[in-house]
Structure 1
Amino acid sequence: MTLDFSVVTDVWQSLVYGTLGTLFLAVAGMIIATIIGVLGVAILRTHMVIPSFLVTAFVEVIRNTPFLVQIYFIFFALPLAGVRLNPTMTAVLALGLNGGAYAIEIIRGGVESIPKGQTEAGLALGLHNHEVFRMIVLKPALRAIYPSLSSQFILLTLTTAICTSISAYELTSVGQRIEAETFRSFETYFTLTGIYLVISMVTMWTLAAIGRRAFNYPQR
């Protein structure tokens, strides 16, 4: 077999746009997942029965069903209820919900690792419950679980490839189109593998840099 990588180098602009599409889906999904994670844990800490049950049910449903089924449900089933989203918005929502369920569990584990004495000390100083949660509980908890949360976000970045199943514009969809037009599967997917590796490494370095900047303070 003769390799011919010109089939991908000739369309490098499409690969760049596909990479940008993947990064957009990943970053938007991370933002939504972080918001869901923090709000979910805050609701669980209220110990209100119905809201806590809904959060727990959400986590269990998302964690115990395939992402492909989730994105299909949003894209194909929700329109029957009058909710119609384009492929990009569907992908962002599905990634955010999926990542949010895992973020809730990761953040919850970090929050529960904070000694109760710190919470009691904050209340004794006259801080409100939301101030205690934000400044005394959440920030040190995020510092403790940040590596795990970063790993989950890198996995979420790679999960964007599944979004090609609903024709969302991202790197894998571009690769599939190149392969369909050229029939050069090895060159196409070898190139995509390298690009995804670079994306993962850059994401890892970026998240590590953010972590060093955000949590650069003494433990005590």
Structure 2
Amino acid sequence: MSYEFEFGDVLGAWDELLHGALNTLWLSALAMLIGLVVAILGAFGKTSGPRWLRVLIDAYIEVIRNTPFLIQIFVVFFGLPSLGIRLEADQAALLALVINVGAYATEIMRAGIESIGKGQIEAGKSLGLTPLQIFRYVVLKPAIQAIYPALTSQFILLMLNTSVCSAIAASELTAAANDIQSRTFRSFEVYFVVTVIYFALSLLFWGLFRVIERTLLRQPARR
């Protein structure tokens, strides 16, 4: 049985693929930024907050890390309306992505914070800095430098996880591919092209993270 490859119909829908790729970029970048804020706040709560707050953060992390991302999306999109909270597909996708990456990134950030020497923290206390000031000026940047590779890897996984959001018809790349496949019945060609696009998006984010590391997180030269 022979199969004739035909990419014409797929490439003819390049505008749909481009629109889906741009939406994936936007959704990923926004989820990364908000997720980083969640991670910083969560890590601060875990390391410096009261016991009840640490228990709540631990529960949040364990629930997210031990349940499938697809189920989390369904809970947000199909479950929240039962509580009177109705979200559009893209809004639900963004919220689910932030909740998911926030849990993983909180643990990564916590590990970075705990890698900071106690002497630096004690020095900050001796200068009269508040816990928030110590966290901001003494702990945060060195912690991010320590865990930056792990954090960026998690963000790349976040971008790839956006493909699962097609299950609720969010307007991202995989959803666009599914629409094209349903019209053309060229499954191999469609998903091969989409695979290449996801690979290119991953390289784009890796390059961006590399630039951020070199410009904002580079250690000062020692003399």
TM bin (shorter chain): over 0.9
Aligned-partner SS, 2:220: coil
Contact 2:47 2:110 in 1 (8 A): no
In 1: Cα distance, 2:60 partner to 2:46 partner: 12
Residues 30-70 of structure 1: per-residue CA shift (max 9 Å, x gap): 01210110000111122412111111100000000000000
Q: Aligned residue for 1:208?
A: 210
Q: Aligned residue for 1:89?
A: 91
Equivalent position amino acid for 2:199 in 1:
L
Q: Is the deviation greater in 81-90 or in 46-55? A: 46-55
Structure 1 residue runs of 5 or longer lacking an equivalent are none
Compute the displacement of 1:147 (Å). Answer: 0.7
The answer as to 2:128 corresponding to 1:130 is no
Q: Aligned residue for 1:14?
A: 16
Equivalent position amino acid for 1:54 in 2:
L
Equivalent position amino acid for 2:90 in 1:
T
TM-score, length basis structure 2: 0.96
Compute the displacement of 1:219 (Å). Answer: 7.3
Contact 1:32 1:97 in 2 (8 A): no
Compute the displacement of 1:24 (Å). Answer: 1.2
In 2: Cα distance, 1:123 partner to 1:190 partner: 56
Aligned-partner SS, 2:129: coil
Q: Aligned residue for 2:42?
A: 40
Contact 2:20 2:176 in 1 (8 A): yes
Instruction: State how 1:15-164 maps to structure 2 within 5 Å.
Output: 15-164=17-166
In 2: Cα distance, 1:121 partner to 1:48 partner: 22
Compute the displacement of 1:218 (Å). Answer: 2.1
Q: Aligned residue for 2:186?
A: 184
Contact 1:37 1:101 in 2 (8 A): yes
Equivalent position amino acid for 2:161 in 1:
T
Seen in structure 2, the aligned counterparts of structure 1 residues 59 and 30 have a Cα distance that, compared at 3 Å, is same
In 1: Cα distance, 2:178 partner to 2:211 partner: 33
Equivalent position amino acid for 1:70 in 2:
Q
In 2: Cα distance, 1:20 partner to 1:217 partner: 33
Provide runs of 4+ in structure 1 moved above 6 Å.
none
Percent identity between matched residues is 46
Structure 2 residue runs of 5 or longer lacking an equivalent are none
Equivalenced residue count is 220
Compute the displacement of 1:13 (Å). Answer: 0.8
Equivalent position amino acid for 2:138 in 1:
I
In 2: Cα distance, 1:37 partner to 1:47 partner: 14
In 2: Cα distance, 1:214 partner to 1:85 partner: 36
